[in-house]
Chain A
Amino acid sequence: MIIPDWIKILIIIPTISANIFLALLVFYKNPKATINRIFFLIGFLFGVWGFCLLLYEFPLMLTSRFWIEATYVSVSILEVIILIFSFIFPKPIFKRARVWAAFYGLFFIILTIYLLYFTNYWVIDVIRDPKRGLQTILGGGYLVWTIAIWGVIGWSIINLIANIKHSTSTQRIQLKYFIFGFFLYGISSTILDVVIPFAWMDTGLFSISVAGSLFFSLATTYVILKHRFLDIQLITSRIVAYILLILTVAAIYSMLVPLLSTFILSRALPVQFAIFPTIITFIGIFIFNPLRMFYENATSSFLYKDQYNIGEVLSNLSKVMAVTLEPQDLTSQISTILQEKVRVSRVIFVRIHEKDISLMYVFPQGSQPKFNENDVALVLGMKKILIREEMEEGSIRKILDEWDVSIALPLINGENVIGLILLGSKSTGNIYFAKDIQMFEVVSSELAIAFENTLRFEQVKEFNITLEKEVSKQTRELREANKHLMELDKLKDNFISVTSHELRTPLTIIRGNLWLILNKYKNLESEITERVRDSMQSSEHLISLVSDILDLSAIEGGKINLNISKTNVSDILIEIEEGFNEIASKNGIKFINKFTDEKYDLLTDPERLGTILKNLITNAINSIEKSGEITVVIEKKNSNISVSISDNGIGIKGEDIPKLFTKFGRLETSLNANTKGVGLGLYIVKKLMDSLRGEIRVDSVYGKGSTFTLTLPIVEEKM
């Protein structure tokens, strides 16, 4: 078969170039990696192979024989290097087998050199046959070599297949591409270089066989570079497209040039003339697009300043909507983007919530119009974006005019109306163009959802705050109730409570039993009755003593808790007098009350006041020997109330008065031997008066009687 020279050149030269190019590409990608370096060698050697074949066909120097032998040598070296490559690509494997492979490789190269240069069994001769062109006469050595080289190729393929097992799924797919390329290369070379020569005795296709190397190179480059731009399907379809493009253009030119030239020049130009215009057109087609974009950008930068990239703005808006949680934040950020990119001069966000219209955001401050429900409802009712400049005259147009807005964008999520965005005109004075409107429409549904989310978030936050407040209020109340309970509990345990309880219990029992004896059994001997009565009175004495001591203990310990409340003095006095009625009547003492119905109210501790008054009355009773009177007077003077208790008893000697309110100060008078008390009564009275912020005074004439006067301030209950 004779293949025209130009086809040979057309095939070999691009193959050499492509191989060298791919080799350099991979090498520069990563000069330090072993894989890249070895592939560089491989690609380079493919180039060398092509180069040798070229010179074999067109021996510009030396002989064809020399070059075909050089071809075989380079192919042998090439294959050994491919074997080495298969041990490390895509991942290093089989470290031990490498030694064997090295030996085999070495053996193979020695075999090649021996067969080629030391025997005549391989290349017998190179001749030019008139019918079949350049031919190489091959001997049996060539077959031996072929088998040996398939050993190398086979080993390489086995390594590659083994590597598949260790690869990830992405790597496997790429490896499969590579093995497929490798295989195609192997098959094509075998058919063109071995099968055809031996079966048809024709080596004319040698030069074309080198093109098979491209299968290998391209596949390997793709796997090594693994660039996401190397979309293999895209690349394949593009290559096919461009080839078709070239052929179409070539066909057009080769038809048109002779045709047109006949008309214009009145002779047909040869088709060769078509080659240059084809090439130029082809180049023109390819650089048109980059050139176009360059001019577009250059002119836009000074003639079309307002332009913005829709994709960029949409992506910014999406980002804001996805991330922002607060409604205020969302609206202000969206507004900022619209102002900066789209040059909107005025942005208003209106929130609709169950017929409630509220203003969420307005830029610039204070530029919002007055909204009424009807207008908003009408605008929303249109359920689509409204562009004032494009609307016909009508009620809605009028509303937009009144509001002075150019765009009304409803935010509707499904069936819910969330809000309304109103945009003023652009600050540049331009109208809103199609792409602006398009962008608004795309954004509005997303914005409706984002808005709703922020409002929900707000609700949840509020709910949480309310919940927190409620919980802490409940906790506080519980804690206080607990404290109160604990205090009560403590009271039961404190010294005074315990002591009073422990002392009083047996005393009351004694008193009670003695009383019972006196009251139940009527027919007792008078001696028994007398003794029982004496015992009972003593027990009474003890009881009041205990009370006094406990009071004193409380007062001195500073542990009196005053229970201040509005107290009516006359009521207390009357009650106390009732208590003393029996004993008073027994002793022939009469109470004379000199006070009116007037309200004698003051803020004080009624219990303590009672104790004071009881003490004074007791003293009064005790100082009256036989019969007498106790006069009680209550008066209101300035901001004080005074209570005076007078008796016409024995009175107090002048020199004794200072001792009166002291601790244990008992007066030595004949009556006192029988009196109860250790002399604490008046001391307690004095101390209590001090704590009530009052004063006590005594006036007495020995033999005539005494008057004790209490003065307490009236503190108005604060309203």
Chain B
Amino acid sequence: MTDVKILIVEDDEKTRKIYADILRTGGYEVDTAADGQEGLEKLKNTIYSLILLDIMMPKVDGLQFLTAFKNNNNSGKVVVFTNLSHATIVEEAKKLGADDFIVKSDMNPDKLLAKIKNML
């Protein structure tokens, strides 16, 4: 499992930190990016099996990231990972190619790890 790399794209520092740590306890290698732009940069150098993507971010937000991701034909699963739950946002994310949509607060860490294990 050490060769499975996960990228967390999230602007809030604490959130970023806690989820990175949570996923590391699951045994995954985790990289982080503070906004969409940094995320896209990271994509240039590394291949990630999973990307957890926040929506509300400065500079390049989640939806824009998704568009760029699809345009560049990057590989890996993209899961939108946010606290927004509005149906239109979900729809838009799915339309832009997100593989799944998780509301952070809905999933406690155990459930999250289980889901990720299923996905990979």
Contact = CB atoms under 8 A, between A and B. Distances in A.
B59 to A, nearest CB: 14
Interface residues of A, number: 30
A714 to B, nearest CB: 22
Interface in B26-61: 55-56
Given A511-B109, A516-B22, A563-B91, 4 more contacts: A505-B83, A507-B105, A513-B18, A582-B110
A543 B22 contact: no
A492 B56 contact: yes
A496 B55 CA distance: 15
A504 B109 contact: no
Contact residues of A: prevailing secondary structure: helix
Contact of B84 (A492, A508, A511, A516): A492
Contacts of A511: 108-109
A695 interface: no
B75 interface: no
B109 A512 contact: yes
Nearest to B89: A491
B100 interface: no
B109 A509 contact: no
User: Which of A496, A504, A540 gathers the greatest number of chain B CB atoms within 10 Å?
Assistant: A504
Interface in A659-686: none
Interface string B98-120: 00000011101111000000000
Contacts of A540: 108
Given A509-B18, A515-B22, A561 B88 contact: yes
Nearest to B10: A505
Contacts of B104: 504-505, 508
A579 interface: yes
Contacts of B105: 504, 507-508, 543, 546-547
Nearest to A492: B56
A488 interface: yes
A712 B4 CA distance: 44
Contact of B83 (A491, A508, A563): A508
Interface residues of B, number: 29
Interface in A88-135: none
A286 B106 CA distance: 120
Contacts of A500: 83-85
Contacts of A504: 83, 104-105
Contacts of B86: 491, 496-497
A556 interface: no
Given A512-B18, A513-B18, A491 B88 contact: yes
27 contacts: A488-B63, A488-B89, A488-B92, A491-B86, A491-B88, A492-B56, A496-B86, A497-B86, A500-B83, A501-B56, A501-B84, A505-B12, A505-B83, A508-B83, A508-B105, A509-B15, A511-B109, A512-B109, A515-B108, A515-B109, A519-B25, A546-B105, A547-B106, A561-B88, A563-B87, A579-B111, A607-B87
A435 interface: no
Contacts of A546: 105
A370 interface: no
Interface in A194-224: none
B120 to A, nearest CB: 18
A428 to B, nearest CB: 78
Closest 3 CB pairs of A and B: A512-B18, A504-B83, A504-B105
A515 B89 CA distance: 29
A497 B84 contact: yes
Interface string A506-547: 011101110110011000000000000000000010010011
Contacts of B111: 579, 582
A515 B107 CA distance: 12
A487 interface: yes
A511 to B, nearest CB: 7
Interface string B66-103: 00000000000000001111111111100000000000
Contacts of B14: 509
B55 to A, nearest CB: 8
B88 to A, nearest CB: 6
